[in-house]
Amino acid sequence: MAPLLFSTTQKRENVPWTRKTVGDLKPLVLYRPTLDFNERPGRNPYQFLENHHSQLFLQLYGFAKKIFAGTGSFTSKRSAWVHEYPEEFYKYVQAIARPDLHAMHWEGLLRKEPERIFLIMGIIMKVIDAKVFSSLMFGASEKHEKALTTHDIDLINCDGFERSEILSRMNEAYLRESAGVPPFFWDQVAKITSQIAILLLPLYNVVGEESAGAIPDLETLTKDLSHVVSYAGWISVMTRLDPGITVVSWLAPGDEYQLGQVNVLHEAFEHSKDRAERCVKRQKGCDKLQKGSGLQRAGRVKLSVTPRIEHYSLHTPKPGALTETRRHEVLEPHVTYYSGPLDPREDAKTLYPLSEYIRRVREPWHMPPVPCALLSAVAFILGLCSLYICYHEMDSRQLRDLRDFLRIMFALFLEQIGLLDVWFKYIGL
């Protein structure tokens, strides 16, 4: 079991913040930034796409920091996961992130300002990838989308570049008939912006409460978010007008570090590595299955912020020469890391499901503080006795479960006597 690091009480502190609802989003008008649909990728499409994807990343980072940074990391005792979020929010979080057992577990993703910003970026990029980049022509009519899909399926056995060139020509002809702009482009931008805003609204409220209202208003949120979505939509349109092939792929949480990945939060990895090393040193000689292998660790993906985007094109060096395929990396995968076991099987054992963690932090404690403190202290002492007496008869899994139980009882005891925050500061959380 994983330890509970924060209070499970759901009593709110008195802060000057009025929670916003979906109804507050509906009357807001989305803004339309100026986009040049006459522009084309040109003779070096990979450079064109690389430049605009870099600009999209910066724009997305600016939005997430401006809206969700608040006054910094959360300081309240409540777990950030006691609040209700949409089911889709949990789905996206688990698709791009995993907990670090040595650095605040699932809590750090929401409570720590830098991690919260990159989590927001990852969620928005996941939505954009699924609903914008995957479209064969973003903002096109249903009829044209269906025609593109039909041709794509009919040409399944053809060369990939031939298929891509045929579809790009169809899109060029289609845009000439619609004054250069996909007819439903702005409708799709408004729809996706609203979906993302609704998805992030509960977290926006949490940041507002934690920051005593010191965050931008909803109008700013939807305005800046619509700029991000419309720019991503424009990039998608430009990509579909290029005869080359663009491939989008995501690193999975837990993947081991490889060259070509961009670590956007180096200090978080250093903190995780330091905490993991201290933990291993404490456990060394206690776990019969460690035998020194606990020191073999690797950097693993904690949060996948952006995908890897690759562009493939055909190139003929000179007349009469053989045509060759060129690959260019338009966007490198941006990630944060944690320090995990080198053995992937051991690392998989440390993954604690988000649903189970949320269930536990939302369990109300009905027992009064004094009896609860006494009971948790007794349970902690009994657990220590069990560890001392039965150590040689326990396997690795039993020892790990017992250690987690001791952490929970110790944290619960400190919480009831009001020393939990002092302990967090002492251990550097």
Q: With the C-alpha atoms ordered 376, 381, 386, 392, is the resulting torsion angle positive or negative? A: positive
Which residues in the chain land under pLDDT 70?
1-15, 279-295, 317, 320-321, 364-373, 375-376, 383, 387-388, 391-392, 394, 409, 411-429
What pLDDT, on the 0 to 100 scale, is given for residue 277? 74
Distance CA 225, CA 228 (A): 5
What pLDDT, on the 0 to 100 scale, is given for residue 415? 60
What pLDDT, on the 0 to 100 scale, is given for residue 270? 86
Amino acid identity of 20? K
User: For 47-98, how does the pLDDT look when each residue is reduced to its tens digit (9 = 90+)?
Assistant: 999 999 999 999 999 999 999 998 888 888 788 899 999 999 999 999 999 9
Distance CA 92, CA 87 (A): 9
DSSP state of 133: I
- Among 132, 100, 95, 390, which Cα is nearest to 236's? 132
What pLDDT, on the 0 to 100 scale, is given for residue 252? 95
Structure tokens at 18: 């009025």
CA atoms in the 13 A half-sphere facing the CB of 266: 2
What pLDDT, on the 0 to 100 scale, is given for residue 79? 86
What pLDDT, on the 0 to 100 scale, is given for residue 400? 74
Q: Specify the pTM.
A: 0.80
What pLDDT, on the 0 to 100 scale, is given for residue 273? 81
Neighbours of 287 (CB within 10 A): 18
Distance CA 397, CA 399 (A): 5
